Structure 1
Amino acid sequence: MLDETTIAAVKDDAVEATKNEAPRRSMLRRAGLGLAGVAAAGALTSKKANAQAITDAVIFNFALNFEYLGAEYYLRAATGKGLSSYSAVTGTGTQGTVTGGSAVPFQTTALAYYAQQLANDELAHVLTVREVLGSAAIAEPSIDLADSWTVLATAAGLIAPGQSFNPFADEVSFLLGAYVLEDVCVTALAGAAALLTNPTNIAYAASFLGAEGYQAGAIRGFLSNIGAGAATDAISALRAKLSGVGDNGTSVAGNPFNLTNVDTNGQNYRRTPQQVLAIAYGSSAAGTAGGLFFPNGVNGSVTVV
């Protein structure tokens, strides 16, 4: 476990990094992620969304749902405390509650510090996106970090029906939980590149994509080193089935150290918001409006598979 001094650094590091970005965030707001764009976005709740205008702000608010999810996961794993201990979680839409999550009993020093870095990064992402969106930022929706994992692990075949899976129980379970989340974020951000219109916003999202890519690669490295190929392959197969988009585990084509999740052109797989929601909700059925990690659905304009 991390000592109290190290744990306290999680918020301090993230807040300081966010303060240093204040001038750039102000510029970004002027560049097109302003409140008027959010207000004009209108309802966007189904696959018919392509016929409506998806503004840059709509995409950033959609991403904020998943930044909340990631921050809750890593902060609770590293510190035992939820996001509300470090950041405001209010905003537009219905504010929910978060269930589950606890400090992981880390035994490996490198992994304990890596979890701290992940917590730092995800907290900084939440703080930065909320600052950019200002009063238009969505509230944190209800997030399930308890029962959702057992449902997902059963569906992937990691456990038998009647068993339970808790990613906060030990280091290996924590890594598998992180594996579930990180690749989804990478594919979501890669997919958003085609939806964003302002060059400044595209560059801004690319920086988040780079961070998530580093994180996902490191998680894959840890799992490869402990021979978790069968488990990651099963998780990837489930994500592919739910989203209809390719997904490679850490053991593919005879390589037990597959550190990237790319297609035959060496490019990140990309997912639309609806394909991302299919994974997050645990259902690809058209019209699905909640489930799994987001039992009551996400906040914002894009909410339905």
Structure 2
Amino acid sequence: MKPKPLLMLVVSSSTMITTVYILILIFFLLLGPATSVVLPKSDQDLIEFPLNLEFLEAEYFLYGALGCGLDHIQPNLTDGGPPPIGARKANLSPLIRDIITQFGYQEVGHIRAIKSTIPGFSRPLLNLSAQSFATVINNAFGKPLYPLFDPYANDINYLISSYIIPYVGLTGYVGANPNLQSPIAKMLVAGLLGVEAGQDAVLRCLLYERATQIVSPYGITVSDFTNKISELRNKLGRAGLKDEGLIVPPYLGAEGKIEGNILSGDTNSLSYGRTPEEILRIVYGSGKEQVPGGFYPHGANGTIARKYLKLGRNLQE
């Protein structure tokens, strides 16, 4: 019995669709995972820049919790960049170590996500020594603290030192988002921002719970440490108020009604945004995007950061 024309048409269409799907699948398999999406150059630069902060966070959290960094956990992501200076395992309680371990592995994913979208760059030289953090704290208070602040000494010191880091990256993602053109870049930045904001919220919550605790042996409260660090970042960023500590004058609190400041936000409780230039001024500790130092002794990597480093060298000549 010969098949009816309608049945033949259905069978033929089904076979054709299946063949097309198979061909598409083969095409993408041949394309390979290393092929990255082509984004506008401006988008590439803006999502490349935060790799500097992601490397910093990954190494600090991994070393603090586990005593080892990317070279042990995911060496392919470093692209041969130099190991960090002075990073070591912190003296943490089980709960804080668990939280920081989670943060560290999250940062590994962030680096991989960025490098899966754009080529990226190798890990820059990072100074994560106790001296590097002590310098930030001394600058925040405008005087040297004795003994020198050791971020690796205990829970409270490590939480205070961690307060210095994720929030800066958070403001960078907020600042970059409106300047992105591609939906792929916007989706990536939104995903990164969500977790970075979560990390900052966890750190602020843990510190807020201890806001009135005196940090030994300095006789200074936890909230005073956060306020001074935020004031320093505002000063170095040179772009007005974009940073707030845990206890603020009521006019800076939510709706101008409260001193508690578990999350930092503007008059509408929206996150502040920073430009790459502002971020470089802060993480270099110099207040100048052309002058490296601080956590980046040789400067940050990538198109944006290297442009300013080159400008700085030209000005010195």
Q: Normalised by the shorter chain, which TM-score bucket? A: 0.7 to 0.9
Partner of 1:128: 113
- Matched to 2:65, the amino acid is A
Higher relative contact order (CA 8 A, sep 6+): 1
In structure 2, the CA distance between the partners of 1:56 and 1:286, relative to structure 1 (3 Å rule), is: closer
TM-score normalised by the chain length of structure 2 = 0.75
Partner of 1:253: 249
Partner of 1:292: 294
Q: Does 1:117 align with 2:120?
A: no
In structure 2, the CA distance between the partners of 1:262 and 1:99, relative to structure 1 (3 Å rule), is: same
Report deviation, 1:199: 1.6
Q: Distance in 1 between matches of 2:263 and 2:48?
A: 27
Partner of 1:103: 89
Q: Does 1:170 align with 2:154?
A: yes
Q: Distance in 1 between matches of 2:139 and 2:248?
A: 21
Q: Distance in 2 between matches of 1:158 and 1:89?
A: 37
Moved more, 228-237 or 199-208: 199-208
Superposed CA deviations along residues 263-282 of structure 1, whole A, max 9, x for unmatched, are: 11211111000000000101
- Structure with larger Rg: 2
Partner of 2:196: 212
Q: Does 1:62 align with 2:62?
A: no
The 5 A counterparts of 1:152-231 are 152-157=136-141, 160=144, 163-227=147-211, 228-231=222-225
Partner of 2:285: 282
TM-score normalised by the chain length of structure 1 = 0.78
Q: Secondary structure at the match of 1:194?
A: helix
Q: Is the 8 A contact 2:61 2:103 kept in 1?
A: yes
Deviation above 6 Å: which 4+ runs of structure 1? 25-28
Mark the runs of 5 or more structure 1 residues left unpaired by the alignment.
1-22, 42-54
In structure 2, the CA distance between the partners of 1:299 and 1:268, relative to structure 1 (3 Å rule), is: same
Report deviation, 1:245: 3.7
Query: Residue 138 of structure 1 is aligned with which of 121, 132, 151?
Result: 121
* RMSD (Å) for aligned C-alpha atoms: 2.4
Query: Residue 267 of structure 1 is aligned with which of 261, 266, 270?
Result: 270
In structure 2, the CA distance between the partners of 1:245 and 1:201, relative to structure 1 (3 Å rule), is: same
Q: Distance in 1 between matches of 2:203 and 2:145?
A: 27
In the alignment of these two chains, the number of paired residues is 256
Mark the runs of 5 or more structure 2 residues left unpaired by the alignment.
1-28, 212-221, 251-257, 310-317
The 5 A counterparts of 1:35-46 are 41=41
- Matched to 2:200, the amino acid is A
